[in-house]
Copies of this chain bind each other. A is one copy, B any other.
Amino acid sequence: MGTLDKNSYIPYYVQIKEDILERIRNAIYRPGQQLPSEQVLAQEYQVTRTTVRKALEELKREGVILTEKGKGSVVSNSRIEQSLLQFYSFGREIGTTVEAAVSRVIQVRQIPASPQLEKKLRLARNGKINEIVRLRYYRNTPLILEFSYIPLEVAPSITQNDLQYQSIYDLLERFYGKRIQKAKEYLYPRISDVYESELLQIPKHSPVFQTERITRGEDGRVLEFRRSVIRGDKVAFSTELK
């Protein structure tokens, strides 16, 4: 259905963009899946192809879809997976090429939430959580140490096996029906502690980046709090200005 409000003061292309986003959230269009052609979308929404293109252009710019000449548009794999990482440059190599990125699960366990985590996760008192510790490599060098915290309310009990062949977000969605609505991520400078230093193979008390991310589900509840420690000697952030 082309649910376009022709009387709204909101431009058509914005309405179309929002509608497509909504369809992606509702898994009508799934990651990796081909979108209908611009021609078809134009008919469906009863607008010209130009207007559809304007909507798709914005989605492309935001990394929601990918387009290929002569082929079509496909929905990107969860943008939330990428996050700030897309801005990093790893040493002299190019950013987030999926190929060379390998991850190892260090630990998965169920523990009571600390007061700080209860706050971050908006948990009730004495809440229990899954703790998942992973180490991400790039070309055999450990670069990122990730701590994920997921309330048992959200996912009863996660095991190491669950994470062998799928991401946390895939797991949450496929097995627990929790769809991700949005996430907010922050970047700070920090000094590594002894544990982090050892796993990342850097001198203790080295300067590192830390990111914190809070992911929320459709009902607005916190699905995950994730803290990542990123080597400062190998990973930089850069922009070029012209």
Residues of A within 8 A of B (CB): 21, 61-62, 79-80, 83-84, 181-191, 205, 207-209, 232, 236-242
What is the bound-complex CA distance between A190 and B185, given in angstroms?
A: 20
Report the Cα distance A240→B238, complex, angstroms.
Answer: 19
Is A242 within 8 A of B21, CB to CB?
yes
Contacts of A237 in B (CB 8 A): 84, 186-188
Q: Contacts A84-B239, A241-B79, A242-B21: A208 and B182 contacting too (C-beta < 8 A)?
A: no
Within the complex, what minimum Cβ distance (angstroms) separates A84 from chain B? 6
Set B80, B232, B239: member contacting A241, Cβ < 8 A: B80
| Residues on the B chain within 8 Å of A182, using CB | 240-242
- List 8 A-B pairs, minimum CB-CB distance, nearest first: A187-B237, A189-B189, A189-B232, A189-B207, A183-B241, A186-B238, A182-B242, A80-B241
A215's nearest neighbour on chain B, judged by CB, is B241
The residue that A236 contacts in the complex, of B61, B62, B187, B239, with Cβ under 8 A, is B187
**CB distance A238 to B80 under 8 Å?**
no
Once the chains are docked, how many angstroms separate the CA of A6 from the CA of B188? 49
> Given the complex of chains A and B, what is the CA–CA distance between A71 and B43 in angstroms?
35
> A83's closest neighbor in chain B, by CB?
B241
CB distance from A202 to the nearest CB of B (A): 11
21 A-B residue pairs with Cβ-Cβ distance under 8 Å, sorted by A, are A21-B242, A80-B241, A83-B239, A84-B237, A84-B239, A181-B242, A182-B241, A182-B242, A183-B240, A184-B238, A185-B238, A185-B239, A185-B240, A186-B238, A187-B237, A188-B232, A188-B236, A188-B237, A189-B207, A189-B232, A207-B207
